[in-house]
Structure 1
Amino acid sequence: MKIASKSYRTIWFENNLVKIIDQTKLPHKFIIKDLKTVKDAISAIKTMEVRGAPLIGATAAYGLVLSIIEKNDLSFLQKSSKELIASRPTAINLKWAVDRMIKKLMGVNVKDILKIALNEAKAIIEEDVKFCKNIGLNGLKIIEEIATEKKDTVNILTHCNAGWLATIDWGTATSPIYHAHQKGIKVHVWVDETRPRNQGANLTSYELNEEEIPNTII
């Protein structure tokens, strides 16, 4: 999605670093942070610099890539995987992503393990983007039906942040909204603030504003 008219994903790999948007600074500051080690990835999950189950899973997958870059050793990789899982036990995508990565890497030649790990992490990310896009295309049909029947703006209520900031791109609950907006359907979003962390007010409203989608915090 877009920030200041520039397209971003919430996480990406560049020059042996993992880049994230520090969500603890939003909506007041847009800061791209470098994760250099697996401990950085663990810290980002624990402190909610990244949040949302899909994004946490992607961060964990890239965390294992950073682990291999740091120390290409099986015991260190296994230790890193356990620490990543423990960083947010309630996020189901986290354990799923770590388990998938470890399963893929077991028995792999030391010379090839980094390339295979990076490819698998990227595959996890691209799959999530595809899933979220498909959620949007399916939800778009419902919004189109309502818009046709109302012949007026479609009002939608969101809770917490299930937007692109919680995933890699598109979001889950917001994906149909973004697809509708891109298709020219008039939508307005009621964003509940979601205490105590205000994910709705701080994150959902922020990303909707960046996409120029009318919204009201309640």
Structure 2
Amino acid sequence: MRLLTRAELTQSLNDTAEDSIFLDPLLRENQVGAVSIDLRLGYDFLVSVLTRSPAVELVHEEEARRRGIQSYFQETRRSLGERFVLYPHQLVLSATVEYLSLPKNIYTDIVVRSSYARLGIGVSTSMQPGWRGCVPLELFNHGNTPVELIVGSCICQAKFFQIDGEETYVNSGSARKYFGSIRPTVSKAERDEDLKILSKLANTP
């Protein structure tokens, strides 16, 4: 696996071939760094909220109760340039302004930019080969002070790795729970097949 450089990233972004990286919109050329591309904070947010329920219950979707994971989040939206306050120890789900489409031989790591990490903001996720959509951002404030985030600001960066082989995430047959999303999406952990198996084991005398 090899990290792509600025020259390789620029060439791929300007190429229209199927095996190239698609990223839109790219608002300025210097979003492409030496070994990464800066990505912008999007408009939509899912804010985690306290409820009367003592915990988020993870049961397989076939056994899911009336109260779903979505009920633990509140939706809100901001316009470009508006501010969103991320409070200490708060989880907020968002997505990037940019739509990303990866070829089948490119893997991507998403990390918070150093300037935001120094404010206590955490972002860490990865995109499998063949993935497409607006990049999901799981924002968390690890600090003790609220931080104002501005919609459209470059909050994270993507690092692209070229991998060997012809494996493709799109046709692998595995469940693609977040594939193609353009807005933040809550956890779909209840779709994990292991939960059904574990439930049966727990209920076995």
Give the TM-score band, short-chain normalised. under 0.3
Specify which structure has the bigger relative contact order, considering alpha-carbon pairs within 8 angstroms and separated by 6 or more residues. Answer: 2
**TM-score between both structures, scaled by the size of structure 1:** 0.26
